[in-house]
Amino acid sequence: MYQGIKISGFGGQGVISAGYLLAQAGMMEGKEVSFFPAYGAEMRGGTANCSVVVASEEVSTPIVSTPDTAIVLNEPSLAKFEPTVKPGGLLIINSSLINSKATRTDIKVLYVPCNEIANELGNTKVMNMVALGAFAAATGAMSIDAIARALPKVYKKLKPEVIELNVKALKRGAEVKLN
């Protein structure tokens, strides 16, 4: 099993922390992982992306240039990363902020209203968890439970009720199905 993941969006959308969380969850499941963050010129509001590899065998490089899955949280990320997804791969689009539709027909596309679901849950900051829940359910690369168990390791200062909210966001994201 090998899953190369690219997560991309604006700084402040939780792109880097989502990638780090996936890496931690993968390690907790006994998988080989790598995590490689990349930032644009500005942190908050600039572009951010990260590469995450979750595999059953040793990971040879942390760079994911042709991802099995790309999670794009804003319009510029769709334009940049849709062309890089492997044929047969998965593109997860935050349909709350991205009005464009995917143009490729050789990949699976999952439109997830991340911001809308996060708003329904009462906190827009969990929109990245909605995307990760959708990813986990659509790929089976790791379980929602592993991601939930990794939350307190990654977000050490979060109160239990905020961890619980993040878990709800993961579960809601997992309910979104391929179109």
Residue 179 lies in a domain: no
Q: Which residues contact 89 (CB under 8 A, 6 or more apart)?
A: 67, 68, 69, 70, 107, 108
The tokens for 149 are 């168990």
Residue 92 lies in a domain: yes
Q: Tell me the mean pLDDT per 10 residues along the chain, length 179.
A: 93 92 95 88 70 90 91 96 97 97 97 97 96 96 95 91 96 87
Residue 58 lies in a domain: yes
Phi and psi at residue 134, to the nearest 5°: -65, -40
Q: Domain range for residue 92? A: 2-174
Residue 115 lies in a domain: yes
Residue 71 lies in a domain: yes
User: What CA–CA distance (Å, rounded) separates 130 from 124?
Assistant: 10
- Token look-up 């590469």 returns 51
**What is the model's pLDDT at position 40?**
65
User: What CA–CA distance (Å, rounded) separates 162 from 123?
Assistant: 10
Q: What is the CATH number of the domain that holds 107?
A: 3.40.920.10
**What is the model's pLDDT at position 41?**
58
**What is the model's pLDDT at position 179?**
58
Residue 114 lies in a domain: yes
**What is the model's pLDDT at position 28?**
93
Domain count, the chain: 1
Query: 3-state secondary structure string, 13-47?
Result: CCHHHHHHHHHHHHHHCCCEEEEEEEECCCCCCCE
**What is the model's pLDDT at position 91?**
98
